[in-house]
Amino acid sequence: MAKRCERKQQKRRSVQKAAGTERKGAVWITRVKAGPHRKEESIPLAFLVREILKLAENRKEVKAALNSGNIKINGVARKELQFSVGLFDIIGIDLGEKKIFYRIVYGRKGRLIPIESSDAKNMLKISKVTGKRVVKGGKLQITTDDGIVFPDFKKEIKVNDSLLIKHPEKEIVEIIEMKKGNTAYKVGGRNSGSLAKLKEINKGTMKRESLVTLEYGDEEAATTISKIIIVGKGKPMIEIGVEE
């Protein structure tokens, strides 16, 4: 039996919430491909170029724009229509006479949106540490939520900490710990896309995820640790379009 390849399109009505596309319109849209980000938490590059940034009107124009090499994700030219674009990714667009930079953030409805950012040209991006393990040679390896792998890292980095990373070199500039008092960014559920102060961390178990308590001004709310990313030790270390 012939091997069935991954589909390149999907129906608009079944698109992931993060894309935030209108349900009415063309039946088919580009399907996001597994890549740096999870499918449920990303949007395809073609969708970003055509339907959000309005840089093209059809698939042919999208291909031409990407093949020109003038559109870069985190400092690297990407030409694949299905390439996954996710949280805090930096979109650089060379218009000839000027360059425009966007950073992908969450809107209040849990949809990924681009915001024009002046500090994005510094190519600094925050990534959350999602795993660590010992690999061959006894070295410690960490992975982040956007698919970056560091084969040898400092022992003080822990799962759920955040890293300020310089792109495209993928160089760790600073470690932002998951600890009380630091600033958290909500990435899902109620208050998605907002900033809060991390007040308390309640350790979980093998079967129960850790819970955190967040302070939104005079209000408090609890959520799971997977729904937040630490973005600063006070003020956010990158521009994300919301005020603390």
CATH class of the domain at 9-119? alpha beta
pLDDT of residue 17: 47
Question: In the prediction, which pLDDT does 14 show?
Answer: 46
Tell the residue number behind the tokens 């949280």, with chain if given: 87
Judged by DSSP in three states, 159 sits in coil
Instruction: Read off the pLDDT of residues 165-223 as tens digits, 9 standing for 90 and up.
Output: 999 999 999 999 999 999 999 998 788 889 999 999 998 887 889 999 999 988 999 99
**Which pLDDT score, from 0 to 100, does residue 111 have?**
85
Residue by residue, DSSP assigns 68-79 as TT-EEETTEE--
- Beta carbons of 242 and 194 less than 8 angstroms apart: yes
Return the sign of the alpha-carbon dihedral for residues 179, 181, 185, 191. positive
**68, 96 contact by CB (below 8 A):** no
- List, for the chain, all residue ranges whose pLDDT scores fall below the cut of 50: 1-3, 11, 13-14, 16-18, 27-28, 244
CATH 2.40.50.740 describes domain 124-176: yes
| pLDDT given for residue 242 in this prediction | 65
